[in-house]
């Protein structure tokens, strides 16, 4: 199924203030793969994710999602395929009630009222949050916010899921249910995180980036056990490999 | 200073509401045509910012009392007049609901007093010419102080006029003006300092932010628009003032013609029921014998000096007071009854 | 009020508005319209009217008791905002000293009557506004405004403002705490620190707006905030409106209070 492919070719990006965030990124993700993106603070993880649906456009190089090359014209089409869950659920949940927020995407897709309600119900049940429907986001706990943020993206039924630090601010139990949820999502997914145990648990493949370039790309089990590589990148072995 | 419902007459309240809705409708129409999508969340979040910032107090140098940010001027400088007016309107709406600052009828006045003047009068006519697009902190300071002072003077004077035209206060114009304007001169100077301070701080820390906001806000604040706005502003002020004065001196007949004049086209919510019902209600009032406020004669704009109020005696007789006491007693009993009934149902 | 007090105050009012009582469950449009009619009716009474205002307390009392809103909380908030009305109103007794009525031998001046009238109207209007938001969630009010014809752009401003109000207040509160913790006395609360504090808050806000914009784009935002149609007006809502309107009409146009007083006086005469 070619439409679940993510392909970055020589992608570079420079912010208007001159910061070079990405320098010649190359990788290709095929259908059903789950890929972790790790790296130090400021390595370019979030910038990379924002290229996946055209929130940012590469300064040079090409991003291809399925059969579509990312351009100003294809951006809208691509956003239907790629769902991005951003780092801070307070920014992700911008509508005044949980229902309105989860309905935002489906309504923008032009769906009719009945199907929108059905989508919202389905997405919220998926994250066990149906009873939060009428609450405003500021009455939710961090774990609940993260769950609803994921539901709001899932309601669009994306082919590819991208997440930025999904487990930040979660208590251990919420983190565990997030991991279970991620494992149940069958399409391609890309997860940027400092939580290496989560990556190890959920992703078969791992990409390490530093200063906007890919420095390592391979099976998680190999990369995340390579102490030298990890420490060079301000990272450390996943806790599950650390022995006192 | 927020205007309060209790000091308003329906005529003044609805006139200012009509003015505010008209300007709000104009601003959103203008914005909708020109806006960059990016502005929509920015405006909303900046509204929350102003709201939160207003809650932070600081000590005013040399006095020991505390002040806080007003916000209209800084919004106008950052977002341009149209967006700033809508943001200010939404901030004041939330305040009216959550803090009950003023009240819902007075909300029209408050949006007008604190939103219209800084955005549509002072920003294009004072702030822009004074800074002339310069980024010099000194010029920004001078322009901000001048703008904030003028905007607040207009605002304060409007509070005076709205109160006097409503006729619920006995304060004579001169004394009221003396009471309000000097305080707001001081507040304006401080507001100007704070406004310029924030603009200059932001310009120093992250200059690109101001530029990018300026780039995404609607263009076309050129001369012609300024003229149009100016004419509009003056017209609105004059018609609003004249009509409410006229209406308040002729409470029976003319109040609701204000509604009719303002009510065409630009006032979408008027169609949906409130206005017609009200008009009807008011028309009926006029024919009822015990509608006891009839101004003494028809002398225009003369201070009601003679205590000739038919019906006043009837309303404040012993019977009236007995009745009021009984009615209030019944209401308290009803309230307590419901409360204890509900309490039992739960316990 | 200090920042913390204001913050918790808004939070409490907000939480009250999500309760589940029959007042809360009425259609927001019905409550918005009823409240506006109530306000206009109260305000339409002439300057010296005191007695006829008494029955109107029934409206807030019913909303408060059936909606299970704590009386003290509302009263406290009414008192907090009262200074301006009192400040302006208190001049009436000083300036308007002509006697307009003599009750049981006590002369009453017009100024005191009009002052009392202002206070009563103030209490009625402010408590009605507070009760509207205490019994209707803010998003509910916004949906009502939108369906009553307010411009969508304005309503979306209200949505965002409400959504980020609490987020930014928390952020501001953290900054104030940091400021007050490290300024052992007044200088920390001075204007320079204030300006910088607000400046930083502003920068963070702009960055946040950008992230929100990206989140919106990612979910198909094209310039309009879509919204689903909410519930239709039910029989209960129409009944509530009809009851309110007839209540307002009857007590506005007939001097019932005085009538009751006269009847009672007759009984004891």
DSSP B224-244: HHHHHHHHHHHHHHHHHHHHH
C149 min Cα distance to partner chain B (Å)? 5
d(CA A94, CA C162): 10
Chain C residues lying within 8 Å of B105, measured CB to CB: 36, 39-40, 43, 125
B135 min Cα distance to partner chain A (Å)? 19
Q: How confident is the model at residue C247 (pLDDT cuts 50, 70, 90)?
A: very high
Query: Which residue of chain B is at minimal alpha-carbon distance from C17?
Result: B98
Chain C residues lying within 8 Å of A136, measured CB to CB: 14, 18, 137-139, 162-163
A172 min Cα distance to partner chain C (Å)? 24
Measured between CB atoms, does C266 come within 8 Å of chain A? Answer: no
In this prediction, residue B136 carries a pLDDT of 87
C134 min Cα distance to partner chain B (Å)? 9
d(CA B300, CA B254): 14
Cβ contact, residue pair A17, B208, below 8 Å = yes
Indicate whether this model's pTM tops 0.90: no
Q: Please answer whether residues B51 and B94 qualify as being in contact, where contact means their C-beta atoms are separated by less than 8 angstroms.
A: yes
* CA quadruple C94, C95, C101, C106: dihedral, nearest 10: 20
In this prediction, residue C241 carries a pLDDT of 93
Domain count, chain C: 2
In residues, how long is chain C?
269
d(CA A143, CA A188): 24
In residues, how long is chain A?
244
d(CA B126, CA B134): 14
Which of B243, B176, B173, B230 is closest to B14 using CA atoms?
Answer: B243
Is C203 found in the same domain as C80?
no
Query: Which residue of chain C is at minimal alpha-carbon distance from B87?
Result: C157
Q: Evaluate if residue C256 carries a pLDDT over 90.
A: no
Q: Please answer whether residues B194 and B53 qualify as being in contact, where contact means their C-beta atoms are separated by less than 8 angstroms.
A: no
Count the Cβ atoms, other than its own, within 10 Å of residue A213.
16
Q: Evaluate if residue C8 carries a pLDDT over 50.
A: yes
Tens of pLDDT, residue by residue over C134-150, are: 999 999 999 899 888 88
Query: Which residue of chain C is at minimal alpha-carbon distance from B89?
Result: C154
Is C121 found in the same domain as C31?
yes
- % of chain C exceeding 70 in pLDDT: 96
Q: What are phi and psi of A134, to 5 degrees?
A: -95, 5
Query: Which residue of chain B is at minimal alpha-carbon distance from A16?
Result: B208
Q: Please answer whether residues B316 and C48 qualify as being in contact, where contact means their C-beta atoms are separated by less than 8 angstroms.
A: yes
Which of B245, B73, B58 is closest to B154 using CA atoms?
Answer: B73
Tell me the average pLDDT across C167-177.
88
Tell me the average pLDDT across C23-35.
93
d(CA A119, CA B38): 27
| Residue C156 domain boundaries | 151-228
Task: Number of B to C CB contacts under 8 A, please give it.
Answer: 395
Contacting subunits of B (3+ beta carbon pairs below 8 A)? A, C
In this prediction, residue B34 carries a pLDDT of 76
In this prediction, residue B133 carries a pLDDT of 77
Is C224 found in the same domain as C201?
yes
Measured between CB atoms, does B198 come within 8 Å of chain C? Answer: yes
Cβ contact, residue pair C228, A113, below 8 Å = yes
Q: Please answer whether residues C161 and B51 qualify as being in contact, where contact means their C-beta atoms are separated by less than 8 angstroms.
A: yes
d(CA A176, CA B327): 61
Q: Which strand (E) or helix (H) includes residue C36?
A: helix C28-43
Q: What are phi and psi of A73, to 5 degrees?
A: -80, -35
B238 burial (CB, 10 Å; 0-12 / 13-18 / 19+) is exposed
d(CA C79, CA C100): 29
Is C247 found in the same domain as C223?
no
Which pair of structure tokens corresponds to residue B2?
Answer: 């927020």
- Which residues on adjacent β-strands are paired with residue A188? A160
Which of B157, B163, B206 is closest to B177 using CA atoms?
Answer: B157
Q: Please answer whether residues B320 and C258 qualify as being in contact, where contact means their C-beta atoms are separated by less than 8 angstroms.
A: yes
In this prediction, residue B37 carries a pLDDT of 83
Q: Please answer whether residues B304 and B295 qualify as being in contact, where contact means their C-beta atoms are separated by less than 8 angstroms.
A: yes
Tens of pLDDT, residue by residue over C54-100, are: 999 999 999 999 999 999 999 998 888 888 888 888 888 888 888 77
Contacting subunits of A (3+ beta carbon pairs below 8 A)? B, C
Q: Where are the domains of chain A?
A: 2-88+158-234
Low-confidence ranges of chain B (pLDDT < 70): 1, 60-67, 216-316, 344-347
Q: Is A152 helix (H, G, I), strand (E, B) or coil?
A: helix
Residues contacting residue C47 through CB under 8 Å, at least 6 positions apart:
B167, B168, B293, C114, C117
Is C158 found in the same domain as C138?
no
Measured between CB atoms, does B41 come within 8 Å of chain C? Answer: yes
d(CA A130, CA C243): 36
Tokens 């101001």 — which residue? B210
User: Measuring CA to CA, how many Å separate A130 from each of A16, A102, A125, C125, C256?
Assistant: 42, 11, 5, 38, 51
Chain C residues lying within 8 Å of A137, measured CB to CB: 163
Facing A137 at nearest CB: one of C163, C225, C229: C163
Mutate to test the interface with C, among B86, B196, B324, B325 (most CBs of C within 10 A): B324
**For chain A, what is the mean pLDDT?**
89
Tens of pLDDT, residue by residue over A34-77, are: 999 998 888 888 899 999 988 889 999 999 998 889 988 888 88
Tens of pLDDT, residue by residue over C192-212, are: 888 888 899 999 999 899 899
Q: Please answer whether residues A152 and A123 qualify as being in contact, where contact means their C-beta atoms are separated by less than 8 angstroms.
A: yes
Q: Please answer whether residues A11 and A24 qualify as being in contact, where contact means their C-beta atoms are separated by less than 8 angstroms.
A: yes
Residues contacting residue A232 through CB under 8 Å, at least 6 positions apart:
A210
In this prediction, residue B318 carries a pLDDT of 76
Tell me the average pLDDT across C221-229.
79
B209 burial (CB, 10 Å; 0-12 / 13-18 / 19+) is middle
- Enumerate residues 19 to 38 of chain C having a beta carbon within 8 A of any beta carbon in chain B: 33, 35-37
Q: Please answer whether residues A33 and A205 qualify as being in contact, where contact means their C-beta atoms are separated by less than 8 angstroms.
A: yes
Is C156 found in the same domain as C129?
no
The DSSP letter of residue B134 is -
Query: Which residue of chain B is at minimal alpha-carbon distance from C102?
Result: B317
Cβ contact, residue pair A138, C212, below 8 Å = no
Low-confidence ranges of chain A (pLDDT < 70): 1-3, 243-244
Q: Please answer whether residues B200 and B140 qualify as being in contact, where contact means their C-beta atoms are separated by less than 8 angstroms.
A: yes
In this prediction, residue C264 carries a pLDDT of 86
Facing A94 at nearest CB: one of C14, C212, C226: C212
Cβ contact, residue pair B41, A16, below 8 Å = no
Is C49 found in the same domain as C170?
no
CA atoms within 13 A on the CB side of B176: 23
Facing A100 at nearest CB: one of C139, C208, C229: C139
Facing A90 at nearest CB: one of C162, C167, C221: C167
Task: Number of A to C CB contacts under 8 A, please give it.
Answer: 93
Task: List residues of B whose CB lies inside 8 A of any A CB.
Answer: 41, 208, 212
d(CA B127, CA B118): 9
A197 min Cα distance to partner chain B (Å)? 35
Count the Cβ atoms, other than its own, within 10 Å of residue B249.
18
Measured between CB atoms, does C136 come within 8 Å of chain B? Answer: no
Q: Does domain A2-88+158-234 have CATH number 3.30.1490.20?
A: no
Chain B residues lying within 8 Å of A94, measured CB to CB: 41
Cβ contact, residue pair C159, A53, below 8 Å = no
């Amino acid at each position: 199924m070619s439409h679940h492919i993510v392909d970055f070719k020589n992608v570079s990006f420079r912010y208007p203030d001159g910061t070079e965030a990405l320098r010649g990124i190359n990788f290709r993700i095929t259908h059903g793969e789950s890929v972790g993106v790790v790296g130090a603070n400021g390595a370019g993880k979030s910038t990379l994710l924002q290229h996946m649906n055209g929130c940012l456009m590469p300064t040079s190089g090409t991003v291809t999602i399925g059969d579509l090359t990312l351009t100003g014209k294809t951006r809208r089409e691509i956003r239907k395929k790629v769902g991005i869950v951003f780092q801070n659920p307070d920014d992700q949940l911008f509508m005044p009630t949980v229902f309105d927020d989860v309905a935002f995407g489906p309504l923008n897709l032009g769906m009719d009222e009945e199907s929108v309600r059905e989508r919202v119900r389905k997405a919220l049940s998926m994250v066990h949050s149906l009873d939060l429907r009428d609450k405003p986001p500021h009455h939710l706990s961090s774990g609940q916010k993260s769950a609803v943020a994921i539901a709001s993206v899932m309601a669009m039924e994306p082919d590819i899921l991208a997440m930025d630090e999904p487990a930040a601010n979660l208590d251990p139990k919420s983190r565990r249910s997030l991991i279970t949820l991620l494992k149940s999502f069958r399409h391609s997914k890309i997860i940027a995180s400092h939580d290496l145990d989560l990556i190890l648990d959920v992703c078969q493949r791992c990409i390490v980036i530093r200063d906007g370039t890919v420095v390592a790309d391979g099976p998680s089990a190999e990369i995340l056990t390579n102490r030298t590589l990890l420490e060079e990148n301000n990272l450390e072995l996943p806790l599950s490999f650390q022995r006192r | 200073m927020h205007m309060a419902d209790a000091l308003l007459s329906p005529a003044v309240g609805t006139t200012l509401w009509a003015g505010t809705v008209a300007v709000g409708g104009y601003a959103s129409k203008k914005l909708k045509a020109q806006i960059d999508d990016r502005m929509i969340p920015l405006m909303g979040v900046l509204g929350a910012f102003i709201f939160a910032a207003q809650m932070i107090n600081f000590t005013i140098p040399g006095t020991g009392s505390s002040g806080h940010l007003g916000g209209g001027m800084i919004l106008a400088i950052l977002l341009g007049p149209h967006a700033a007016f809508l943001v200010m309107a939404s901030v004041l709406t939330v305040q009216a609901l959550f803090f009950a600052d003023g009240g819902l009828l007075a909300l029209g006045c408050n949006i007008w007093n604190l939103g219209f003047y800084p955005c549509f009068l002072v920003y294009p006519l004072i702030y822009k010419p004074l800074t002339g697009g310069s980024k010099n902190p000194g010029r920004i300071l001078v322009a901000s102080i001048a703008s904030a002072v003028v905007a607040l003077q207009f605002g304060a004077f409007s509070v005076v006029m709205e109160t006097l035209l409503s006729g619920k206060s006995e304060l004579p114009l001169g004394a009221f003006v003396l009471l309000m304007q000097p305080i707001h001169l001081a507040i304006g100077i401080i507001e100007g300092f704070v406004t310029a301070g924030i603009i200059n701080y932001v310009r120093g820390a992250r200059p690109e932010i101001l530029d990018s906001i300026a780039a995404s806000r609607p263009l076309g604040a050129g001369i012609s628009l300024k003229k149009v706005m100016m004419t509009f502003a003056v017209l609105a002020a004059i018609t609003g003032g004249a009509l409410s004065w006229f209406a308040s001196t002729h409470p029976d007949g003319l109040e609701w013609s204000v509604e009719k004049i303002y009510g065409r086209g630009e006032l979408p919510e008027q169609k949906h029921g409130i206005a017609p019902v009200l008009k009807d209600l008011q028309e009926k009032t006029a024919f009822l014998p015990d509608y006891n406020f009839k101004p003494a004669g028809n002398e225009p704009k003369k201070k009601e000096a003679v205590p000739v109020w038919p019906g006043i005696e009837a309303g404040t007789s012993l019977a009236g007071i007995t009745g009021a006491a009984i009615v209030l007693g019944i209401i308290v009993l009803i309230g307590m009854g419901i409360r204890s009934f509900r309490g039992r149902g739960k316990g | 009020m200090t920042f913390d007090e204001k913050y918790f105050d808004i939070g409490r009012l907000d939480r009250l508005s999500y309760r589940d009582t029959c007042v809360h469950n009425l259609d927001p449009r019905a409550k918005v319209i009823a409240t506006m009619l109530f306000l206009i009716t109260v305000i339409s009474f002439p300057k010296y009217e005191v007695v006829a205002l008494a029955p109107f307390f029934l409206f807030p009392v019913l909303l408060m008791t059936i909606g299970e809103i704590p009386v003290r909380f509302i009263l406290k908030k009414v008192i907090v905002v009262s200074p301006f009305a009192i400040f302006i109103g208190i001049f009436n007794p000083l300036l308007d000293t002509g006697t307009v009525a003599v009750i049981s031998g006590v002369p009453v001046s017009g100024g005191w009557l009009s002052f009392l009238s202002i206070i009563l109207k103030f209490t009625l209007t402010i408590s009605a506004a507070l009760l509207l938001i205490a019994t209707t969630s803010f998003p509910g009010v916004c949906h009502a405004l939108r369906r009553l014809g307010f411009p969508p752009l304005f309503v979306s401003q209200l949505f965002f403002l409400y959504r980020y109000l609490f987020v930014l207040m928390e952020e501001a509160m953290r900054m104030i705490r940091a400021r007050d913790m490290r300024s052992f006395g007044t200088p920390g609360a001075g204007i320079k620190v204030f300006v910088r504090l607000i400046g930083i808050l502003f920068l963070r806000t702009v960055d946040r707006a950008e992230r929100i914009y990206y989140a919106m784009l990612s979910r198909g935002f094209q310039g309009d905030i879509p919204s689903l149609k909410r519930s239709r007006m039910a029989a209960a809502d129409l009944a509530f409106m009809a009851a309110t309107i007839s209540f307002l009409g009857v007590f506005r146009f007939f001097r019932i209070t005085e009538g009751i007083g006269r009847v009672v006086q007759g009984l004891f005469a």
